[in-house]
Structure 1
Amino acid sequence: MNKMPIYAAAATILLSTTAMAQTTVPPAMPNTPAATTPMTPGGTSGHSAFIQQQRADQHLASNLIGMNVYGGADENLGEINDLVLDRTGTVTAAVIGVGGFLGVGQKDVAVPFQAVEVTRNADGKNRLVLRKTKDELKAAPEFAKYEAAPATTGSVTPTRPATTPPATR
């Protein structure tokens, strides 16, 4: 009796059951914002590894950089030149260019980002308010960007191989 058709049928059944046993990722709950879906550990693929949409309470750095910052009395204090992030991605400071005219004579001052009130108007535009005065920012210390220590490039004199005196017997 030829057992080959039985083996082929058994292999077909086994292969088809493994395909049916694969699970699919369930869709997100309808009331869960897409931006709060946690990332899967290890960077695995799938929709839960990505943020799909910005939430209403989130702001893009590209929209904040270059924006004017206003004081409590609605005076223009300067503009956001940069944002400082820590290793976890938290924005720790806003670097504001203050003083000067058309960038000349301007200095950068960093303030804790929590001190900057970021709001969104009804028309969707951001507004930045810092409860400081122009004089306080002008008197503040200038922000210095991190610069790595320069590498030493001192010349190295090559060493000569040691010479051994001729052996004496």
Structure 2
Amino acid sequence: MKMMPIYAATAAVLLSTTAMAQTAAPTGTMGATTSATAATGMAPTFVTRQMADQHMASNLIGSAVRGPADENLGDINDLLIDRSGNVAAVVIGVGGFLGIGEKDVAVPFQSVEVTRVDGKDRLVLRKTKDELKNAPTFTEADKAPASTGSVNTNRPATPPATR
């Protein structure tokens, strides 16, 4: 049985939380909230339980990513999260052996099918090993060369000109 892709579930949760902020009391979509929060009608400040359509980052990082033919494509090394808290991309370590010669490739989170099978997350990416090996290497912002237009935060600020 295939579960709904995680991005559709995330969109449904985000849309429902917008509607909840306009109602008198939040429902259980974010988990149980304190009675003070429910009484004020404000957005919940604490989430007390994981919902069935949510996945823990700690369970995803290190998980094997499988291809359409059930071959191992690599492991999730990290998640790229935007300021809004959305997972923008999954960083997958591909190639190499025992971490030597491995490179990081980032794919949009929506392209990874995440299902839960027997209590474990199963991740499938509709790409081949060759496509991932030939994909561009993902580089973190603080490790990017200066020629890419990234900001070098380690450089001291230029003092203002004296008159």
Higher RCO (CA-CA < 8 Å; seq separation 6+):
2
Aligned with 1:144 (options 135, 139, 143)? 139
Aligned with 2:126 (options 126, 131, 135)? 131
Structure 1 residues 27, 113: CA separation in 2 closer, same or farther (over 3 Å shift)?
A: closer
Secondary structure of the residue that 1:49 maps to in structure 2?
Answer: coil
Alpha-carbon contact 2:32-2:48 (below 8 Å) kept: no
TM-score when normalising by structure 2:
0.66
Aligned with 1:75 (options 61, 71, 76)? 71
**Divergent runs of 4+, >3 A:** 26-29
Structure 1: segments with no counterpart, 5+ residues: 1-25, 160-169
Q: What CA deviation, in whole Å up to 9, does each residue of 1:43-83 have, x standing for no partner?
A: x9x99311111000000000000000000010000000000
Give the C-alpha shift of residue 152 in structure 1. 3.7
Percent pairwise identity: 61
Give the C-alpha shift of residue 153 in structure 1. 7.7
**Bigger CA radius of gyration:** 1
Structure 1 residues 50, 71: CA separation in 2 closer, same or farther (over 3 Å shift)?
A: same
Aligned with 1:96 (options 86, 92, 97)? 92
Structure 2: segments with no counterpart, 5+ residues: 1-23, 143-150
Secondary structure of the residue that 1:63 maps to in structure 2?
Answer: helix
Aligned length: 122
Alpha-carbon contact 2:26-2:43 (below 8 Å) kept: no
TM-score when normalising by structure 1:
0.64
Structure 1 residues 107, 53: CA separation in 2 closer, same or farther (over 3 Å shift)?
A: same
Which residue of the partner structure matches residue 61 of structure 1? Answer: 57
Secondary structure of the residue that 2:137 maps to in structure 1?
Answer: coil
Which whole-Å CA distance do the structure 2 matches of 1:33 and 1:112 have between them?
25
Which residue of the partner structure matches residue 112 of structure 1? Answer: 108
Which amino acid in the other structure matches residue 127 of structure 1? Answer: R
Give the C-alpha shift of residue 34 in structure 1. 4.5
Q: What CA deviation, in whole Å up to 9, does each residue of 1:85-113 have, x standing for no partner?
A: 00000000000000000000000000000
Which whole-Å CA distance do the structure 1 matches of 2:134 and 2:32 have between them?
40
Taking only aligned residues, the RMSD between alpha carbons, in angstroms, comes to 2.8
Which amino acid in the other structure matches residue 124 of structure 1? Answer: G
Which whole-Å CA distance do the structure 1 matches of 2:156 and 2:30 have between them?
49
Which whole-Å CA distance do the structure 2 matches of 1:79 and 1:47 have between them?
36
Which whole-Å CA distance do the structure 2 matches of 1:141 and 1:117 have between them?
21
